[in-house]
Amino acid sequence: MNITQDAQVRSARPEDIPGIQKLLNHYAKLGDLLPRTKQDLANNLEHFLLIEEKQTVIACGSLEHFTPELAEIRSLMVAPDIKGRGLGRRIVEQLIGIAKERNVGRLMALTYVPEFFHNLGFRTVTKEIFPEKVWGICVNCYKFENCDEIAVLLELNQAKS
């Protein structure tokens, strides 16, 4: 099966939480993503899209709102053995579409791979332009004083459809 063409992006369901958490824990152990509890995932499940193969979550990401104007792409992950097949891009493109439908003006992400987002029209910015993120979530992060993630921004009200 050609995963990139046959697998469908869909909304996450409660039975997907263990699979999302397994993928997330892999990247959290590497220090690439922050860990999230099952309860946190359950509370935010409605924001997640995913791709599965043989009942295994192989890619996912979420769109979480800070304000009607600002949303963030979070927990974007692709199973390590199938990276580079366009699955992350498909999820981000759908999340961008959802953000546009909701009239979100700015879509941001914190990443270690800014080039991935640059290829989708995002630009690198300073984290300080997102006080909603910094003082709402980042302040509670163990990396707060030494954050090494790169902030990227897509201005949707200026982005081409």
Q: What number of H helices and E strands is found in the chain?
A: 6, 7
Who's near 126: CB < 8 A, 6+ residues apart?
A: 151
pLDDT score of 160? 45
Superfamily of domain 3-155: Gcn5-related N-acetyltransferase (GNAT) (3.40.630.30)
Q: How confident is the model at residue 135 (pLDDT cuts 50, 70, 90)?
A: very low
Q: Is the pLDDT of residue 1 over 70?
A: no
Query: What local confidence, expressed as pLDDT, does residue 80 receive?
Result: 92
Q: DSSP letter for 8, please.
A: P
The pLDDT mean for the chain works out to 85
Q: Are strands 70-78 and 106-111 parallel, antiparallel or unpaired?
A: parallel
> What digits encode the pLDDT tens for the residues 138-157?
545 555 566 677 889 999 97
What pLDDT, on the 0 to 100 scale, is given for residue 31?
A: 79
pLDDT of residue 140: 54
Higher pLDDT, 161 or 128: 128
What is the chain's alpha carbon radius of gyration, rounded to the nearest angstrom?
15
- What's the CA gap between 121 and 47, in Å, rounded? 22
Residue 136 has pLDDT above 80, yes or no: no
Q: What is the pLDDT of residues 47-92, one digit of tens each?
A: 999 999 988 999 999 998 888 888 999 999 999 999 889 999 999 9
Contact 60, 50 (CB under 8 A): yes
Domain ranges of the chain: 3-155
β-strands 150-155, 106-111 pairing: antiparallel
| 44 or 137, greater pLDDT | 44
Q: Where are the alpha helices (DSSP H) in 31-110?
A: 38-44, 87-101
Report the distance separating Cα 44 and Cα 39, nearest Å: 9
